[in-house]
Amino acid sequence: MIGFKDLEQKLKDNGYKTTKQRRAILQVLYENVQRFISAEDIYNKTKEKFNTTNFSTVYRNLEILERLGIIHKTNIEDGISVYELICHREHHHHIICKKCGKTEIIDFCPFENIEHILDDKGFEATEHKFEVYGYCSKCKSDV
């Protein structure tokens, strides 16, 4: 597991300054480990911590964090992107609760099962996506 200090350090190491807004965004992400949250949610929660924060600032920082490999961006539903702190170093996939947004890591990657298929086809894979959507044990009772 990665600590909050590590995150701030990684930013510093890469020449980024420590601003109040940036720290607040990082805190929000840190408090939502294992949960995909939207830019809007991040913006709102960041505002609670430090009320002069702007959408541009949020997006600009999310872009930096993604570039540094600190967060992971995906499109769960049409059009909207969601973000999550990367707290595990290994490649992995997710189970995602459509109600509360909670994610869990699946300890299985289907890629190795199809590598030979891709080789046969002469297909050069660059990325793959495996995600399971549904309702977690907590949420499935009250759907």
Q: Are 83 and 26 in contact (CB under 8 A)?
A: no
As measured in angstroms, the least distance from the Cβ of 36 to a second copy is 14
Nearer to DNA, 22 or 45 (CB): 22
100 binds a second copy (CB under 8 A): no
The CA-atom distances, in angstroms, between 67 and each of 4, 10, 51, 62, 96 are 18, 12, 26, 8, 23
CA torsion sign for 116, 119, 120, 121 is: positive
Pick the binder of a second copy from 81, 83, 84, 87 (CB under 8 A). Answer: 81
Pick the binder of DNA from 16, 68, 98, 136 (CB under 7 A). Answer: 16
15 binds DNA (CB under 7 A): yes
Q: Quick count: other Cβ atoms within 10 Å of Cβ 121?
A: 8
CA distance 5 to 19: 14
Q: Are 114 and 121 in contact (CB under 8 A)?
A: no
104 binds a second copy (CB under 8 A): yes
Q: Are 73 and 62 in contact (CB under 8 A)?
A: yes
Touching DNA, residues 29-88 (CB under 7 A): 38-40, 52-57, 59-61, 63, 78-81
List phi, psi (to 5°) of 105.
Answer: -85, 135
Judged by CB under 7 A, the number of residues near DNA is 26
126 binds a second copy (CB under 8 A): yes
78 binds a second copy (CB under 8 A): yes
Report residue 108 as tokens. Answer: 């299985």
- Site of interaction with a second copy (CB under 8 A): 73, 75, 78-79, 81, 95, 97-98, 104, 106-108, 110-111, 113-114, 117-118, 121-137, 140
Can you give the binding site for DNA, defined by CB under 7 A?
12, 15-22, 38-40, 52-57, 59-61, 63, 78-81
